[in-house]
């Protein structure tokens, strides 16, 4: 029993089920099923590891309920016909063998059909904006007839029965996140005038009919839960008051627990919140539902750390917590929390780079920026090195620390060289409050270096220092690029990293040159501190290559800050109290007392080149390969250290 998180590790009941703790794996599409929706070996390996991590229940990702329009995404899990049952039974049994209760979510995608193929079924012919942008008129939904609605209702009931037959011990109906049921529930997407549209009673009708059909087919004692969005966060959507009324009705229909989330795929920052959005983002909605129902409530959404989860249970805001991305970052999150080792949990930083950015519109299986092994279970597992070697890692940023950690776990003798403090650019990256999720990650990496007893040489390593090592991993990072424009050497000019690490302090009117990730975040950070900031970007838009959810979150913050954005604008020169720029209108000046350069970074790979010239076995990882993101640092470092 955990002393740090006692409420989190008490048993809990949902209907006839008793769970060993209050932690559930929330359902998330993985893109790892076979094309026909059947269970793949890869999917089984993935869920087996998730279940071994200590969660009380694993809710398997959403499974489509019919073969007409329910399937949403590539390699989407199916439960639409009896041929899916053998694989589902295999999956359920593997989860149970690892000590977790196997559950599964069933769904119909409605208008959110990432595949973009017809039929796209919805209550009204209102396309999902993202799909419209990609596919045009092909994205306009087919308006469901009453007979077709009834077929879907029965398909949910049949799918729930298949789940029971396959050995799952609970079924969750997906009634959230902009899929079919919320298409009926939200006035944004339901413009019907028949018995399925208009009044709240009509808009919730399909929920009631599905719950009744499911309950009829699985029996009175089989646990059935439903996932609801507290609100869809749409301006003309449904508020929490509507969801409260829906929950009251569904409890009377026999729902055993409510799994509360928020948002839809149009308001994605409220559904899969990036780090610029507050943690535990939708817990308020779970708390609101819990006040009016008498069955358990599962809180979910950006509950990244065990102290957050403990507080939710202890304060009565929820009875259980659903963890999605945190169990991708570290499948052993529950076990480590239970053993009072929260410092060993690799934290989710909500970057969405490895998961959301890869999956629905890039048609890849999920992975994680900070955990390269997710979806590669059994392939990238760490094994002892065939021959332990003496290895030097040069650079104590995220790539260097990850490489050192993995090499040490494999049995190598490792020394880490870092001229400054451990953490590298994680320190600068985490300075803005809207990037604070990175701070626990930096702390985690430093803690692992300390716990593993890896010696750290605080010096700038030279080739001579490395002569006695069998191999060298160069994680030497990158340095800012400065443009060759007149005035670049003026005293008011500085680079973004100097500003973020406190080495330089901008004053007066500020111009930030470069609207990529670093430039945008630096400008926004300063603007939110009350400094008037102008962001100058030569491309037609800012935040190119930035995760979609970050773009949305930052755009909202920029609109509220004292910040101007000039796109299609090139820096010409830097003067006293101003900069000269050119755009489609010609050349003009912008007032600027301080000029911050953020046009990019250049890899520092000279040591690697010197070592290679000497015939030394050397490897490049992280920014030293190519300046990138945290994702690139972890993935390059892990793979190099995994194979040495």
CA dihedral of residues 240, 58, 356, 155 (deg, nearest 10) = -70
Task: State how far the Cα of 340 lies from the Cα of 3, in Å rounded to an integer.
Answer: 7
CA dihedral of residues 231, 237, 240, 246 (deg, nearest 10) = -100
Which of 167, 174, 166 is closest to 82 using CA atoms?
Answer: 166
Those residues with Cβ within 8 angstroms of residue 243's Cβ, 6 or more apart along the chain or in another chain:
228, 229, 230, 231, 285, 289
Does residue 553 surpass a pLDDT of 80? yes
Task: State how far the Cα of 219 lies from the Cα of 164, in Å rounded to an integer.
Answer: 10
**Confidence (pLDDT) at 358:** 84
Taking only the tens place, the pLDDT of each residue in 556-590 is 999 999 999 999 999 999 999 999 999 999 999 99
State mean pLDDT over 10-31: 97
Percent of the chain with pLDDT over 70: 100
CA angle 64, 212, 87 (to 5 degrees): 30
Task: State how far the Cα of 91 lies from the Cα of 534, in Å rounded to an integer.
Answer: 54
Q: What is 390-479+602-643's CATH number?
A: 3.40.50.720
Task: State how far the Cα of 224 lies from the Cα of 207, in Å rounded to an integer.
Answer: 13
State mean pLDDT over 126-145: 95
Q: Which residues pair with 619 in a beta bridge?
A: 473
Q: What is the 3-state secondary structure (H, E, C) of 41-81?
A: HHHHHHHHHHHHCCCCEEEEEEEECCCCCCCCCCCCCECCC
Contact (CB, 8 A) for 327 and 333: yes
Q: Which residues pair with 590 in a beta bridge?
A: 579
Taking only the tens place, the pLDDT of each residue in 190-237 is 999 999 999 999 999 999 999 999 999 999 999 999 999 999 999 999
Residue with structure tokens 């597992």? Answer: 381
**Confidence (pLDDT) at 401:** 98
Q: Which residues pair with 320 in a beta bridge?
A: 298
Task: State how far the Cα of 543 lies from the Cα of 340, in Å rounded to an integer.
Answer: 40
List the structure tokens of 525.
């950070």
How many alpha carbons fall within 13 Å on the CB side of residue 387?
3
Taking only the tens place, the pLDDT of each residue in 226-252 is 999 999 999 999 999 999 999 999 999
The three-class DSSP label of residue 462 is coil
**Confidence (pLDDT) at 446:** 98
Q: Element (H or E) spanning 148, and its range?
A: helix 146-166
List the structure tokens of 136.
């045009």
Contact (CB, 8 A) for 513 and 536: yes
Taking only the tens place, the pLDDT of each residue in 319-345 is 999 999 999 999 999 999 999 999 999
How many alpha carbons fall within 13 Å on the CB side of residue 487?
19
Task: State how far the Cα of 530 lies from the Cα of 562, in Å rounded to an integer.
Answer: 7
**How do the domains of the chain map onto residue ranges?**
12-344, 390-479+602-643, 482-599
Percent of the chain with pLDDT over 90: 98
Task: State how far the Cα of 309 lies from the Cα of 542, in Å rounded to an integer.
Answer: 36
Residue with structure tokens 């630096």? Answer: 522
pLDDT-derived band of residue 298, with 50, 70 and 90 as boundaries? very high
Taking only the tens place, the pLDDT of each residue in 461-488 is 999 999 999 999 999 999 999 999 999 9
**Confidence (pLDDT) at 384:** 97
State mean pLDDT over 90-115: 98
**Confidence (pLDDT) at 265:** 87
pTM of the model: 0.96
State mean pLDDT over 598-607: 97
Which of 447, 472, 502 is closest to 336 using CA atoms?
Answer: 447
- CATH class of domain segment(s) 482-599: alpha beta
Write b or e for each residue in 214-231: b if 16 or more Cβ atoms lie within 10 A of its Cβ, otherwise e.
bbebbeeebbbbbbbbbb
Report, as residue numbers or ranges, the catalytic residues: 179
**Alpha carbon distance, N-terminus to C-terminus of the chain:** 39
CATH number of 12-344, picked from 3.20.20.70, 3.30.2290.10, 3.40.50.620, 3.30.1330.10 = 3.20.20.70
Rounded to the nearest 5°, which phi and psi values hold at 267?
-110, 55
The number of residues in the chain equals 644
**Confidence (pLDDT) at 359:** 84
Task: State how far the Cα of 262 lies from the Cα of 242, in Å rounded to an integer.
Answer: 13
Rounded to the nearest 5°, which phi and psi values hold at 421?
-85, 155
Does residue 68 surpass a pLDDT of 90? yes
Task: State how far the Cα of 153 lies from the Cα of 113, in Å rounded to an integer.
Answer: 19
Taking only the tens place, the pLDDT of each residue in 391-440 is 999 999 999 999 999 999 999 999 999 999 999 999 999 999 999 999 99
Contact (CB, 8 A) for 179 and 109: yes
Does residue 360 surpass a pLDDT of 80? no
Relative to beta strand 471-474, strand 456-457 is: unpaired
Task: Look over the chain and give the mean of its residue pLDDT values, rounded to a whole number.
Answer: 97
Write b or e for each residue in 129-153: b if 16 or more Cβ atoms lie within 10 A of its Cβ, otherwise e.
ebbbeebeeebbbeebeeeebeebb
CA dihedral of residues 224, 227, 230, 234 (deg, nearest 10) = -140
**Confidence (pLDDT) at 594:** 98
- For residues 84 and 360, the model is more confident at 84
Task: State how far the Cα of 85 lies from the Cα of 83, in Å rounded to an integer.
Answer: 5
Task: State how far the Cα of 163 lies from the Cα of 166, in Å rounded to an integer.
Answer: 5
């Amino acid at each position: 029993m955990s002393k740090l998180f006692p409420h989190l590790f008490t048993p809990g009941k949902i209907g006839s089920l008793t769970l060993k703790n209050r932690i559930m794996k929330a359902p998330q599409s993985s893109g790892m099923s076979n094309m026909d929706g059947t269970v793949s070996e890869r999917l089984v390996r993935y869920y087996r590891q998730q279940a071994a991590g200590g969660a009380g229940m694993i809710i398997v990702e959403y499974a489509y309920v019919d073969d007409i329009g329910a399937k949403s995404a590539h390699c989407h899990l199916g439960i639409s016909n009896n041929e899916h049952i053998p694989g589902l039974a295999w999956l359920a049994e593997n989860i149970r063998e690892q000590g977790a209760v196997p559950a599964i979510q069933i769904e119909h995608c409605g208008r959110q059909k990432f595949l973009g193929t017809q039929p796209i079924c919805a209550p009204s012919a209102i396309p999902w904006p993202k799909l419209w942008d990609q596919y045009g008129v092909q994205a306009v939904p087919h308006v469901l007839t009453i007979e077709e609605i009834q077929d879907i209702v029965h398909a949910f009931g049949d799918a729930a029965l298949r789940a029971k037959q396959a050995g799952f011990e609970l079924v969750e109906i997906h009634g959230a996140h902009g899929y079919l049921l919320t298409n009926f529930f939200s006035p944004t997407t339901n413009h019907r005038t028949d018995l399925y549209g208009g009044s709240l009673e009509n808009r919730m009708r399909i929920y009631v009919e599905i719950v009744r059909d499911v309950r009829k087919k699985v029996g009175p004692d089989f646990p059935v839960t439903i996932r609801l969005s507290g609100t869809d966060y749409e301006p003309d959507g449904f508020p929490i008051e509507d969801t409260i009324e829906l929950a009251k009705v569904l409890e009377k229909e026999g729902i055993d627990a409510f799994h509360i989330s928020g948002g839809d795929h149009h308001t994605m920052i409220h559904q899969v919140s990036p780090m610029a959005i507050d943690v535990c983002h939708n817990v308020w909605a779970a708390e609101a539902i819990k006040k009016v129902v008498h069955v358990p409530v599962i809180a979910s959404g950006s509950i990244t750390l065990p102290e957050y989860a403990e507080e939710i249970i202890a304060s009565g805001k929820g009875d259980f917590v659903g963890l999605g991305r945190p169990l991708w970052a570290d499948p052993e999150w529950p076990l480590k929390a239970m053993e009072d080792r929260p410092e060993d949990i690799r934290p989710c930083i909500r970057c969405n780079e490895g998961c959301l950015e890869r999956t629905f519109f890039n048609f890849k299986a999920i992975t994680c920026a900070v955990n390269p092994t997710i979806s590669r279970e059994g392939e990238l597992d760490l094994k002892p090195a065939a021959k332990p070697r003496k290895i030097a890692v040069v650079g104590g940023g995220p790539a260097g620390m990850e490489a050192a950690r993995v090499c040490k776990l494999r049995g190598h003798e490792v020394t880490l060289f870092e001229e400054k403090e451990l953490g590298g650019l994680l320190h600068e990256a985490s300075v803005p409050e809207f990037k604070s999720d990175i701070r626990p990650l930096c702390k985690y990496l430093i803690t692992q270096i300390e716990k593993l007893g890896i010696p750290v040489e605080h010096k700038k390593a030279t080739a001579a220092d490395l002569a006695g090592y069998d191999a060298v991993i160069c994680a030497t990072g990158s340095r800012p690029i400065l443009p060759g424009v007149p005035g670049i050497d003026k005293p008011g000019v500085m680079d973004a990293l100097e500003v973020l690490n406190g080495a330089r302090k901008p004053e007066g009117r500020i111009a930030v040159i470069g609207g990529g990730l670093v430039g945008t975040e630096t400008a926004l950070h300063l603007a939110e501190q009350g400094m008037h900031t102008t962001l100058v970007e030569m491309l037609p838009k800012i935040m190119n290559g930035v995760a979609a959810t970050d773009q949305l979150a930052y755009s909202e913050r920029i609109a509220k800050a004292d910040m101007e954005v000039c796109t299609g604008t090139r820096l010409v020169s830097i003067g006293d109290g101003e900069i000269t720029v050119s755009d489609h209108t010609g050349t003009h000046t912008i007032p600027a007392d301080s000029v911050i350069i953020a046009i990019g970074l250049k890899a520092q790979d000279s040591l690697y080149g010197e070592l290679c010239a000497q015939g030394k076995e050397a490897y490049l990882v992280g920014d030293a390969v190519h300046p990138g993101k945290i994702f690139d640092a972890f993935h390059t470092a892990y793979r190099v250290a995994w194979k040495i």
